[in-house]
Chain A
Amino acid sequence: MLPLRMEKHHSTSSASAMAGSSDEELALLVADSDQQAFAQLMHRHLDRTVAVAQRVLFRRSEAEDVAQDVFLKFWRQPESFNPEKAKFGTWIYRVTINRALDVVRKVRPDQLPEDFDMTDPTPSALEDIAKAERRKALVATMAKLPERQRAALSLSYQAEMPDIEAAASLGITVKAYESLLVRARKTLREKLLAGGHHDA
């Protein structure tokens, strides 16, 4: 038996027709329970949503849980997104980063994950040992950064969010946000140099 929403909307829109729609147009369709629009938005943003969360949480499974929570919440409460206030991409990554920070604070407030996984654990054939070592050292350092610094890095480098939007996402001033970025970059750069990995 098809779910009610599918019975109601499966013929109202097609994937090909949606490919040219903006995120905000799709979000409006989601507000009308259009499951194809929802799938299209996930197709566009799910990977990056997981990536944004993973930069904060460092555990793939937790990042995926956060991404799932965020998208399900949007499906069930589509009115929580207001296209007049933000672009969908900005909004979904903002919700994601805040949800990830909640998880860090509530689930493991004094966390320093020993079993974090930053990227694909299997290095590519082209990746040499020195590069792998450098990455390992940097990832370990990133995992030890304060959570807000990690969130700032994630919004800047994974979500590619402008500073003003990223600062608003974290509820801080642009100056404070830039300060987080400066400290995070400085820590990582110094760690890399201290480990002698910079010439690799």
Chain B
Amino acid sequence: MTPEEFTGLLDRYGADLARWPEAERAAGQALLNKGPGEAWKQYRAAQLVEQLLREPVPAADHQLMDRILAAAHYQPEMQVEIGAMFSAWQRGLTATTICLSLVAGLFTGWSSTGYGSTTTYIEVEAGDIPGLTSSPGYNMGDYQ
């Protein structure tokens, strides 16, 4: 096995020779047994890389777990509970608001169009009202 072949196998199977296929493992080990050289240098570098890759990342702190538990358990239920607490009077309030709005709207609309007033037009002749006559200087027609 040449150092180049050895390096290719290092990249393919990693620095743990125990994970190499048996045939290549024996040849690779034999190359390393020759002592420091190109293959040894590559092997050492691969080992260091894998040490880093296997290096444990610091444990997640309890605050993260607490945050997740809080989000999982409390938020949805809080929403449900708040909804349950207020839903009854909220529904009543909503219904009342809608009714009042409708009444107010109808009243306003009715007033502005005049349909709400009870004006009655009666044709009256001057003579129908006692004391009011079509005397000169006072002509009802001037006001009509």
Contact = CB atoms under 8 A, between A and B. Distances in A.
Interface in A166-196: 178, 181-183, 185-186, 188-189, 192-193
A64 B67 CA distance: 11
Given A42-B65, A68-B68, A178-B12, A134 B48 contact: yes
A157 B57 contact: no
Interface residues of B, number: 34
14 contacts: A5-B73, A47-B59, A47-B60, A71-B72, A72-B72, A76-B72, A118-B57, A135-B55, A139-B52, A153-B53, A192-B48, A198-B45, A199-B44, A200-B48
Interface in A62-111: 63-64, 67-68, 71-72, 75-76
Given A35-B72, A189-B42, A198 B64 contact: no
A68 B64 CA distance: 8
A3, A39, A156: residue with the most chain B Cβ atoms closer than 10 Å:
A3
Chain A at the B interface: SS class: helix
Given A35-B72, A68-B71, A189-B42, 6 more contacts: A38-B69, A42-B69, A46-B60, A49-B60, A50-B57, A199-B44
Contacts of A157: 50, 53-54
A45 B84 CA distance: 35
Interface of A: 1, 3-6, 35, 38-39, 42-43, 46-47, 49-51, 54-55, 63-64, 67-68, 71-72, 75-76, 118-120, 134-135, 138-139, 153, 156-158, 178, 181-183, 185-186, 188-189, 192-193, 197-200
A72 B74 contact: no
Interface string B74-109: 100110110000000000000000000000000000
Contact of B57 (A119, A134, A186): A119
Interface of B: 10-12, 14, 41-42, 44-46, 48-50, 52-60, 64-65, 67-69, 71-74, 77-78, 80-81
Contacts of B73: 3, 5-6, 35
Contacts of B14: 185
